[in-house]
Each structure stands twice: as C-alpha cells, then as structure tokens.
Structure 1
Amino acid sequence: MRLVPINAAKESTFLAQTIYDDKGRILLAKGVKLTNSLLNRIKEHGFYCIYIIDEYSQGELDDIIKPQIRQKAIATVRATLNTCVNLEDDKLNKFERKKIEKRSQQELDQIQQLAKLIVDDIFTQRDIMINLVDIKSSDNYTYNHSVNSAIMALVLGIGYGLNRNELYDLTMGVMVHDIGKMFIPQEILNKQGKLDDNEFKIVKEHVTRGFNYLRENTNMSTKVRIISLQHHEKVDGSGYPYGLKDVQIYKLSKIAAVAEVYDALTSGRPYRDPLPPNEAVEYIMGSGGRHFNMDMVKAFVKNVNPYPIGTIVYLSNNSIAVVEEINSEYILRPIVRVIKQDGRIVEPFMCDLKRESNIVIKGICYEV
C-alpha cells in the first residue's frame, strides 16, 4: 500500500486503511473499491490523503498500535479537552463546577491509563520503526495530533534510551501538550491565511494557558506539565514562551518538540496541504542544532521511515521505482524495483541504493 494525496487517488484502486470520521466512527472500511463519489465523500470530510492498494503496491503496513486503542485514545483526549473548556465558564455554580472538575479528573485518569497501556505494549517491541503517517481530517486534527505525536514521541524516547517511567511521563505529557489550544479562538487556529502579529501572540499563549490549567485543575506531575509549557522552545533560543536554549529545556520537552512538529508537518490544515513524509524528515534533519537537539534528531532519523515499502519514488537517474525493502541502517537508501526509465516502461529490476551511491531518491511519485 502507499500514501497518496486525495487529488491523486484514482477510481478502481482500493482503500488500504480504514478511515474514521471526527467521532471515531468508521467512515470507509479498508478494502473498499474507490469510486469518484467515494473520493468526493472523503474530500468532503476534510481528508487530504489516503492509503491505497494498486498494481504497484500490494503489501500492507501495520500500525505500531491497534486501531481500536488509537481510536479510544483519540476519543478520550477529545472528551478531556472539551471538558476543560467548560471549567472556564464563569457562570458555573459551585455544584456544577465540582461535577465538571470530577469528570475532568476521571478523563485525565483514563488518558494516564491509556498512556501506560501504549507504553507497555510498544516498549516490549524490538527494532520499532514508524512507517505510517496517520490519516486525519481537518475536523479532528487537534485530537489526532495529540495522540499521534504521543506515539511518535514514545518511539523516539525508546530510541533515545529513556526508562519506562520517563516514557510514561513523556507519552502522557504529549497527549495533553496542546490542551491550552482549547482556550484559543478557533477562528484564529483555523485561519486560512497567515496570522498577523497579534493573532500569533494569542496562539503562543496556548502553552502557558495549558500549563496553568494542568497545574491548577489536575494532579498531573511536574514533568507532564513542563512538556505542555516547553514543546515550542527551540535549542537556539528562538522558541517560546521563554526563549530557552538547549541545556535549559527539559529533555522530554525536546523529544516532544520533534514529534509534534513532524506530525504537524505531515497533517493537512485549512491553510496548507500536508508535506510528504520524506520532506518532513528532511525538515527535521535540517533543523537539528537550530530548532531541535541533535541527539533527538539522531533518534528520530533511526526510527522514522520516510519511504515505506510500496512507496513509488523518483530517482536521480530519471527513473521511477517502487520501494521493496528497507535498509535499516540507511533508511534513506532502500532497495527499490525500477519500473520506468526516461519515461518508458521497462522490465522491472532491483536496485540497492545502499550500493548504488551515485543514485539518490529525489522525491515521492504519486502518478506513474
């Protein structure tokens, strides 16, 4: 299977991964044969890309967590974030506030239990690698982003060598890292064009507002709260809210920063299309030492595969090829099956890019 922008998907191909709506219900099940009407339905629900199976990519890629656990985590994050907004209502009486506070704590406890469940499941896996970009619509971006970033951060944390207790805090912290965005006007968060200076100033308040909410209304650990506060700090001091530099930033926050930026870049938003995974990986690599700690970037490069099996790629020798096998030590140089050269279909043959050092992947191809 391979990832394609929704506008590049064609009739008669098959959906390779189930698509869920913004309530976590199945919108279209894996294996459905796509038609123009179904593709239009997917677009109407705000999806920017999908996974397909066609004649070039027959295999499947497994998610590192079960779909039902992912959907349960997303639903719990959604409930928690929406409940926290209710506590901001000044018209609440004492009884109502107490009731909402109790529900909020119960939901946070559920997130904590899910975070531990996910950590315990993934921690025992060997040679774990992120091969999939989760498919999300613009309608449920915030909730999916929280869960996807947490899973990504967990994998990076394992690669970095964190112990299990640190991984619990990391996963929990990233699940609630954007809780402060619930207090930012949605028309600013979803603005189509570029934010003006005042709007960006308001958006930046989400880190302090989230931190303050967790401190005042929950029993979350200090480590969890710091992740919500520092996930936009950059190691060169150009981040916010405090412009901290590398040694001043908590290590779990540094991991969270890499994970959440990667997921944000590969997600479609109302104001921009998603980046292909390879371009997002290149951005992270190019930002090492400036935005991101280099040790975190190294862990990222070892654990995130921008060219999963089935991906169709352009090569620098004017060929088009399908990724057939991953070179785990050189993930940017997989083994590929060449299917076109100089615009002409050829008898397919294998090419190991680890050995062919003069050939590089130039990008992902969506139409052959």
Structure 2
Amino acid sequence: MRLVPIECVRPNTVLGKTLYDIEGRVLLKSGVILGEKVISKIRELNILSLYIIDEYSSDEIEDIIKPELRQKAIITIKEAFSDINKFTVADKYSKKEEQYYENIGNMTEDLIDEILNNKEVTLSLVDIRSMDNYIYAHSVNVAIISLILGIKLKLPKSKLKALCMGALLHDIGKSFIPKEILNKSDQFTLEEIEVIKKHSSLGYRYLSDSYNLSSHSKMIVLQHHERIDGRGYPDNLSSDKINVLSKIVSIANIYDYLSTDSPNKRAMFPNDVLEYLMSNAGIIFDYDMVNIFCKIVVPFTKGTLVNLSNGDKAIVEENTPNLPLRPAIKILDSHDKNRVGLKINLSNDPSLIIDEICYQID
C-alpha cells in the first residue's frame, strides 16, 4: 500500500485504505477497484491523495490506532468545535459545557490506551482527509503524534492525558476565525496571516476559566506556536519559558501540517519534512525532542517508490532503525541496466540519497 496524489491514480487501481465522509460514514471500502468515474467523484470531494495497492506495494500499513477510533475522535472534535459558536454565556457554565469536556476526556483516555497497547510505537501512516474536515482530522492527528513522542519521552500517564487534551484542543481558537479565511484555497495575505495568528490567544481565552481542563492543556493551546529562539507567537517566549508539553505539540503540529494536504497547499515529501525539523532543531523546535522524534518517524514505508540522486528509481524494502532517511532499497529502473534488481542499504552508501518519492515507473 502506498500514498499517491489523486492526479496520479490510474483507472483500475485498487483502493488501499477505506475512505470516510465528514460524518464518519464509509464512502469507499478498501479493496474497491477505482474506475474513472469514481476517481472523478473523489476529486470532487476535495480528497487530494489516496492509498493504493499495486504491483509495487501490496503490504498493508498498520495505523497506530484503529480506523473506527480515529473516525470517532474526528467526529467528537467536530461536534465540540462546531458547538462553541452556538454557546450562550449561560451555556458556558452549564451541563452542555461539562458534556463537551467529558466527551473529549473520554476520547483522550481511549487514544492513550490504544497507543500504549500498541507494541511498536512508530509513526508511518498519513491520514487521508477531505479538505472539508481538515481542521478536525488535523487536531486528532496532532494528538496521536504528540502521544507517540510523549511516550518516547517517558511522560507519566497524567502528563500524557494533559498532553492529549491540549493537542486535541490546540486549534480550538480557529472556531472564532472567519471560515472564508481558514478554507481559502490559495495563499494567505499578510493581513489574513495576522488574523489566523490570533487563534492561539482566542482559544486560550475561551478555555482559561474552565475548571475541567488542566493548566498544562491550556498552555498548549496558548503556546503551540511559540519558538525556542523567542520569535514565535503570541508572546515571543524563549525556550525556558515554554511549557514542555507545548514544545511537543509544536513539533507534532508542524509535522502533520507539512506532511498532509491542506486547503491551501499540497503535502511535502516526508524526507523534506524531516529535514525541515532537523534544520530547525534548537531554533524553532526543542533540539533533543526533534532528535528523538526523527528516530520514531518512518518517512519511507515498505513499497514506497523513490527517485535517487543518481537518477535511478527504486523501491523501499526495509527501514533502518534510527536512520529514517537511509532505508534498504531495490533498484527498479536505471540507465545502467546491470543495476536493475540491485539491493542497497543506503545506511552503508553515503554517496547515494533519496531525492523524492515517485509515483510511477514508466
């Protein structure tokens, strides 16, 4: 199974991962053969990438949480975010608000238990999402990624709960940002960027007087865009002033944003995302956390097609522990026909690197 942009999906391709609509209902089950009309319908739903099964990649990629739990979490966040603007002042201190936090608290427990019960805590699957439910799916993904890093950092369960709650709610302030800005399909203007930047303060202000949420979770909502070098927002805090859990969510937030399609941009190649994180370790992000994070991410899953720096095309056969950008590969196409079929472990060949993912071998 491999991830392919919708424009590269050919008719008669097998769908590798079930698609859901914004309400969590199944649109297409995995294993369905995609015809031209179905592919066109998927494009109309603003789904920009699909997992497919083909001759290069038939192995299933296991998600760290069950698909049903992921969809339930997305719906929980969608309902919570949608209700905010409907609350009156009286509602804010009523059973409605209590139910709102109780649902997210229960979802937090479910996510923590699911990930703690997973034997291998690595991050390899990108969630497929419609642009219509982007913000909700993003919030859930950031929570999952944050938990994976939090577990690797050996945080106690009480801190993991605060981490997950804060991550699920980190973008709650965007409920107060005009939808025409958030859902814009082209680049933001400088004025629109300044409006969007207000979401962390708006979210914190909304949650600040709630006794149902820990102070750590509230800090995540406020600080997830602060930078280690003090050039973040809203308060230009430097490293020692930023909450530890906020530093975790900062990494998870940018990783998910850059590695998935969003309303105004296409996903970056996973190796480029990791290189961005590594080049900004100690500047934007906590240096030690980035080093740990980069060891638990699997950017090139088994079956990924890649272009190499020498012009060869190859397929990823195995990942190398602690060296995510240097997997073992097999050459599929080369100007030198004697190289076709050659197996190389890139961790033993520093002269050869992966340039980018490719989607077809012509």
Give yes or no for TM over 0.5: yes
Partner of residue 177 from structure 2, selected from 184, 202, 226? 184
Does structure 1 residue 248 correspond to structure 2 residue 221?
A: no
**How is 1:96-245 mapped onto 2 (pairs within 5 angstroms)?**
97=91, 101-217=94-210, 219-245=212-238
State the 1:360 CA deviation. 1.3
Q: Hey, what's the Cα distance between the residues in 1 that align with 2:5 and 2:291?
A: 28
Q: Does 2:262 match 1:263?
A: no
Q: Aligned partners of 1:139 and 1:101: how far apart in 2? A: 30
Partners of 1:48 and 1:274 within 8 A in 2: no
Could you tell me which residue of structure 2 aligns to residue 287 of structure 1?
Answer: 280
**What is the SS of the residue equivalent to 2:226?**
coil
Any idea what SS the aligned residue of 2:282 has? coil
Find the residue that maps to 1:354 and give its secondary structure. Answer: helix
Q: Report whether the alignment pairs 1:58 with 2:51.
A: no
Q: Secondary structure at the match of 2:139?
A: helix
For the pair 1:341 / 2:334, whether they are aligned, the reply is yes
**In the alignment, is the contact (CA less than 8 A) between 2:101 and 2:212 conserved in 1?**
no
Q: Secondary structure, in 3 states, of the residue corresponding to 1:134?
A: coil
Structure 1 pair 75–345 and aligned structure 2 pair: CA distance change class (3 A)? farther
Runs of 4+ in 1 over 3 A off after TM superposition: 124-127, 343-347
* TM-score (norm: length of structure 2): 0.95
Identify which of structures 1 and 2 has the higher relative contact order when contacts are C-alpha pairs closer than 8 Å and 6+ apart.
1
Counterpart residue type for residue 139 of structure 1: D
How many residue pairs match? The answer is 361
Question: Which residue among 267, 271, 274 is the counterpart of 1:278?
Answer: 271
1:19/1:135 contact within 8 Å kept: yes
Which has the larger displacement, 350-359 or 331-340? 350-359
Looking at structure 1, the residues matched to 27 and 283 of structure 2 have their Cα atoms a distance apart, in angstroms, of 41
- After TM superposition, give the deviation of residue 218 of structure 1 in Å: 5.3
Query: Which residue of the partner structure matches residue 21 of structure 2?
Result: 21
- Preserved CA contact (<8 Å) 1:61 1:132: yes
Unaligned runs of 5+ in 2: none
1:36 corresponds in structure 2 to 36
Aligned-partner Cα distance in 2 for 1:207–1:304: 27
Return the offset for 1:217: 4.5
Residue 115 of structure 1 aligns to a residue whose secondary structure is: helix
SS in 1 for 2:298: coil
Indicate the SS of the match to 1:224: helix
Q: Which residue of 1 aligns with 2:349?
A: 356
Give 1:3's aligned amino acid.
Answer: L
SS of 1:78's equivalent in the other structure is helix
**In structure 2, the residue corresponding to 1:216 is in which secondary structure?**
coil
Offset of residue 128 of structure 1 = 1.3
Identity among equivalent positions (%) equals 40
Shift of 1:202: 1.7
Q: How does 1:299-338 map to 2 (within 5 A)?
A: 299-338=292-331
Unaligned 5+ segments in structure 1 are none
1:293 to 1:319, Cα distance in 2 relative to 1, 3 A: same
Q: What is the identity, as a one-letter code, of the residue corresponding to 1:18?
A: T
1:81 aligns with 2:74: no
Q: Is the partner of 2:31 in helix, strand or coil?
A: coil
Structure 1 pair 209–129 and aligned structure 2 pair: CA distance change class (3 A) = same
- Work out whether residues 329 and 345 of structure 2, in 8 Å CA contact, stay in contact via their aligned partners in 1: yes
Q: State the Cα RMSD in Å.
A: 1.8
- Cα deviation per residue 1:238-272 (whole Å; 9 max; x = unaligned)? 11000111111001000000001111112222322
Quote how far apart the aligned CAs of 1:278 are. 2.0
The one-letter code matched in structure 2 to 1:80 is A
Taking structure 1 as the reference length, the TM-score comes to 0.94
- Give per-residue Cα distances to partners, 1:269-317, cap 9 Å, x unaligned: 2322121222222211221111111111112101111101111111122
Q: Equivalent residue of 1:4, what SS?
A: strand
Equivalents in 1 of 2:336, 2:41: separation in Å?
A: 33
1:196 Cα offset (Å): 3.0
Counterparts of 1:151 and 1:59 in 2: how far apart (Å)?
23
**How many angstroms apart in 2 are the aligned matches of 1:200 and 1:352?**
43
Q: Is the CA contact 2:334–2:340 (under 8 Å) kept in the aligned structure 1?
A: no
CA contact (8 A) 1:174 1:228 kept: yes
Aligned partner letter, 1:49: S
269-278 or 242-251, which moves further after superposition? Answer: 269-278
Change (3 A) 1:114 1:345: farther
| TM-fit CA distance, 1:39 | 1.0
Letter of the 2:54 partner, please give it. Answer: D
